[in-house]
Chains A and B, each alone.
Chain A
């Protein structure tokens, strides 16, 4: 941020648009600037990605060999739980919100987010929420150890004391997400430049509009389910206790009513990012723009009626199994439309393979693998075999790591020059890509095999026949984990040095964000641009 316009704030200037950033720590604590807040979200997310990553490496180190080597089983469970929670709520979601903060106002020609002070509030809740969550590691009984899905009664009757801290942590991070989402919807619906009609909006903005709707719809349900847990634990209610007429399965229904849309909250903005990057480097317009919009909307709507495919083995009536199976498979149709459109965009394009494009291509291929294993899991009778095995772990890591995480990395490489004003170091970017690509596949591909062979998830020890694939996965995990140091190095170097970037940055880039100088001035589009 060193080269940002350093016009100092005048003490009593009536026009806030002439202000540059304030000085010192106060700039970050009190800011109402979408770019500052976006940067804070992204840095926070990177920190959480590292912490969650260290937890993953502890898990993989323990699983390198059969037998108990490094950690106690209870601590192992705490690691799987915290790894999941931190990656979902601390790494992936804040990264997307950070990108939304930076890019949506610039993509639609708005001066800032619609509600800038609430924007600051949404961000600053997160460090407190995660301090609370992480502090549970040092509490008597240890951190939450019941898996990131925190099924009752593991998370109620049999939970460690720290579960209450987890519950309140979830409450405030949920408040943060809801406020962030409200802000994004209000920005998109109310702040578009004249002429920027809905069907002219860039795909990233479109996917975020729909994601924000999902967030507002389901984060309150998450708040509801943890509130029921809290009441069961401390006030003697029996929501999840059959002895009082409740049902532990009720927990799973309410949780997954939140949980499945949540999964799409973590992938729809990724679709948006990929739909921005591929046209730029294929030097063609996005193929089938309106079908992309409708596909995302269909995926979002379907996400509300598929939740019980996470619970096929729980003992549902047959009609439920059948309904949720077919509804789930229906999602493959709009998803297929998207993959088709990405490929069709590249077809006969003038392709070049800069770092963002490499991540985007890896996304298309590897996310599709994750999508296919998802289809396998959607088949209820087959799921009885795969349920709670490493096959499930392989599936959702394929959609979340080379899916969501790769899209975030692609976005970072794609828009960093716009943020910092410096051209990327392509050599280092490609090094990071290839190490990550190889590492991810070595880590997660073998998990399909051990899963199909019957290795259960969330265990610190396993039968001998799974040893080879597990040690392979552990090696891959360490390659992937340590290659992220290259990512951090690349970001820091890009902020500090690098060739001056043009406003356009990428030869094939289109859209309002590429019309402002690089780095983008502290305030962009104080007067709205005209879009035709």
Chain B
């Protein structure tokens, strides 16, 4: 079969279960947050939990089927092409998701904060909070009662710089792992992959340290006005993506131990590597535009 005709898979229960899971997750999350903000109890967390159970069941089951089918030789080269397209465009959609938050950051820095401070063509906005001066990072918010600004910001040349070095190194190590895989050097593959995961874990640890410091010592919180909001949304979503990427790398490592992937066919590994480079590039953007500038 392989190579001659395109593999149209059999019927599968996973997509419908995944849809049910997303429905539960969405409804449960909405119930939880609504009742949390209104200070009442609800069954939201249980619905959310059920959603997580189903989605994890689906993730395991769906990938298991996928791996089994590949092992049976059902996947043609053309199907491989579809997977490549799929992963590529998925990463593009992720780029656009981050673009929305970067766009928000650039907009407030270039337009709304200066206008509130009385500069520029729409500087008349200053009459809302007379005496407010525009600075960036915005430590003095227009309304300090509602949004108490941070006392200080994270110094880019300590932990963030270390984190930059860590992530860029991890992009290099994952490439070494890929080369080892292509040359069928299994021990080197496993070693480089493990090194990548280690670097990622240290990155995540430092990020947690940094958040802790921000909340406990600097007063830099989500509620600290637009600087805190953009800071935490951008670094937070990035951190979440690193976590996801690390999990995927870890699964790849387990599969390597299991003897998966050949020097010719290893798209799952490549997809994870692509994803890893993507989170790396986003970090470089964050380091420049959120931490330094």
The reply to whether B9 and A121 form a contact with Cβ atoms under 8 Å apart is no
Decide yes or no whether A67 CB sits under 8 A from chain B.
no
B21-36 at interface with A (beta carbon < 8 Å): 22-23, 25-27, 29-30, 33-34, 36
With A220-B96, A247-B112 as given contacts, are A128 and B22 in contact (CB-CB < 8 Å)?
yes
The reply to whether B16 and A186 form a contact with Cβ atoms under 8 Å apart is no
Decide yes or no whether B12 CB sits under 8 A from chain A.
yes
Decide yes or no whether B71 CB sits under 8 A from chain A.
no
Decide yes or no whether A97 CB sits under 8 A from chain B.
no
Decide yes or no whether B82 CB sits under 8 A from chain A.
yes
Q: Which of A231, A235, A247, A318 contacts B111 (CB 8 A)?
A: A247
Most chain B CB inside 10 Å of its own CB: which residue of A125, A242, A318: A242
With A121-B18, A228-B104, A231-B229 as given contacts, are A165 and B121 in contact (CB-CB < 8 Å)?
no
The reply to whether A115 and B86 form a contact with Cβ atoms under 8 Å apart is yes
Decide yes or no whether A147 CB sits under 8 A from chain B.
no
B52-66 at interface with A (beta carbon < 8 Å): 62
B86-115 at interface with A (beta carbon < 8 Å): 86, 89-90, 92-94, 96-97, 99-101, 103-104, 107-108, 111-113
* Interface bits A163-195 vs B (CB < 8 Å: 1, else 0): 011011101100100100111011101110000
* Interface bits A116-148 vs B (CB < 8 Å: 1, else 0): 111011001101110110000000000000000
Give A247's nearest chain B residue, CB to CB: B112
Decide yes or no whether B15 CB sits under 8 A from chain A.
yes
* Interface bits A207-248 vs B (CB < 8 Å: 1, else 0): 000000000111111011101101101111111011111110
Expressed in whole angstroms, the Cα–Cα distance for A250 and B92 within the complex equals 23
Expressed in whole angstroms, the Cα–Cα distance for A16 and B72 within the complex equals 14
Decide yes or no whether B216 CB sits under 8 A from chain A.
no
Name the A residues within 8 Å of B151 (CB-CB).
none
The reply to whether A125 and B233 form a contact with Cβ atoms under 8 Å apart is no
Decide yes or no whether B78 CB sits under 8 A from chain A.
yes
Expressed in whole angstroms, the Cα–Cα distance for A141 and B6 within the complex equals 52
Q: Which of B92, B107, B122, B224 contacts A216 (CB 8 A)?
A: B92
Name the distance in Å between B53's Cβ and chain A's nearest Cβ.
Answer: 16
Expressed in whole angstroms, the Cα–Cα distance for A228 and B96 within the complex equals 15
Expressed in whole angstroms, the Cα–Cα distance for A243 and B141 within the complex equals 7
Expressed in whole angstroms, the Cα–Cα distance for A125 and B15 within the complex equals 9
Q: Which of B1, B9, B23 contacts A117 (CB 8 A)?
A: B9
Interface size on A, residues (CB 8 A): 87
Which of B142-150, B189-197, B255-263, B280-288 forms contacts with chain A? Answer: B142-150
The reply to whether B26 and A168 form a contact with Cβ atoms under 8 Å apart is yes
Decide yes or no whether A114 CB sits under 8 A from chain B.
yes
The reply to whether A29 and B22 form a contact with Cβ atoms under 8 Å apart is no
Name the B residues within 8 Å of A189 (CB-CB).
85
The reply to whether B229 and A172 form a contact with Cβ atoms under 8 Å apart is no
The reply to whether B142 and A237 form a contact with Cβ atoms under 8 Å apart is no
Q: Which of B10, B22, B94 contacts A125 (CB 8 A)?
A: B22
With A172-B23, A253-B107 as given contacts, are A244 and B226 in contact (CB-CB < 8 Å)?
yes
Name the distance in Å between A513's Cβ and chain B's nearest Cβ.
Answer: 18
Q: Which of A128, A167, A236, A257 contacts B23 (CB 8 A)?
A: A128
Q: Which of B27, B90, B100, B112 contacts A224 (CB 8 A)?
A: B100
Q: Which of A14, A26, A183 contacts B1 (CB 8 A)?
A: A14
In terms of DSSP, what is the predominant structure of the interface of chain A? helix
Give A236's nearest chain B residue, CB to CB: B223
* Interface bits B116-136 vs A (CB < 8 Å: 1, else 0): 100011100100110000000
The reply to whether B12 and A30 form a contact with Cβ atoms under 8 Å apart is yes
Give B125's nearest chain A residue, CB to CB: A242
Q: Which of A17, A172, A245 contacts B26 (CB 8 A)?
A: A172
The reply to whether A114 and B85 form a contact with Cβ atoms under 8 Å apart is yes
Decide yes or no whether A22 CB sits under 8 A from chain B.
yes
Most chain B CB inside 10 Å of its own CB: which residue of A32, A236, A246: A246
Give B136's nearest chain A residue, CB to CB: A245
Give B66's nearest chain A residue, CB to CB: A117
Q: Which of B93, B101, B113 contacts A219 (CB 8 A)?
A: B93
With A243-B146, A250-B112, A254-B104 as given contacts, are A523 and B8 in contact (CB-CB < 8 Å)?
yes
Q: Which of B11, B100, B146 contacts A30 (CB 8 A)?
A: B11
Q: Which of A27, A168, A190, A225 contacts B81 (CB 8 A)?
A: A190
Name the A residues within 8 Å of B228 (CB-CB).
237
Decide yes or no whether A112 CB sits under 8 A from chain B.
yes
The reply to whether B112 and A225 form a contact with Cβ atoms under 8 Å apart is no
Give B138's nearest chain A residue, CB to CB: A245
Name the B residues within 8 Å of A250 (CB-CB).
104, 107-108, 112
The reply to whether A242 and B116 form a contact with Cβ atoms under 8 Å apart is yes
Give A36's nearest chain B residue, CB to CB: B11
Give B232's nearest chain A residue, CB to CB: A237
Q: Which of B10, B103, B125 contacts A16 (CB 8 A)?
A: B10
Q: Which of A230, A234, A245 contacts B108 (CB 8 A)?
A: A245
Name the B residues within 8 Å of A218 (CB-CB).
96
B206-244 at interface with A (beta carbon < 8 Å): 222-230, 232-233
A86-126 at interface with B (beta carbon < 8 Å): 110-112, 114-118, 120-121, 124-125
Decide yes or no whether A161 CB sits under 8 A from chain B.
yes
The reply to whether B122 and A315 form a contact with Cβ atoms under 8 Å apart is yes
The reply to whether B93 and A238 form a contact with Cβ atoms under 8 Å apart is no
Q: Which of A31, A169, A187, A220 contacts B100 (CB 8 A)?
A: A220
With A125-B19, A190-B85, A242-B128 as given contacts, are A112 and B6 in contact (CB-CB < 8 Å)?
yes
Q: 10 extra interchain contacts, Cβ-Cβ under 8 A, other than A124-B15, A223-B97, A250-B107?
A: A114-B85, A120-B16, A183-B86, A185-B85, A191-B82, A224-B97, A231-B222, A237-B228, A242-B125, A244-B224
Q: Write 24 A-B pairs (CB below 8 A) sorted by A numbering.
A: A22-B11, A26-B11, A30-B15, A32-B8, A111-B8, A112-B6, A117-B15, A124-B16, A161-B34, A165-B27, A182-B89, A183-B86, A186-B81, A216-B96, A217-B96, A218-B96, A220-B94, A237-B229, A238-B225, A242-B128, A243-B129, A244-B229, A250-B104, A257-B100
- B interface, CB within 8 angstroms of A: 1, 5-16, 18-20, 22-23, 25-27, 29-30, 33-34, 36-38, 62, 78, 81-83, 85-86, 89-90, 92-94, 96-97, 99-101, 103-104, 107-108, 111-113, 116, 120-122, 125, 128-129, 138, 141-143, 146-147, 222-230, 232-233
A-B pairs with lowest CB-CB distance, top 4: A224-B100, A128-B23, A244-B147, A247-B112
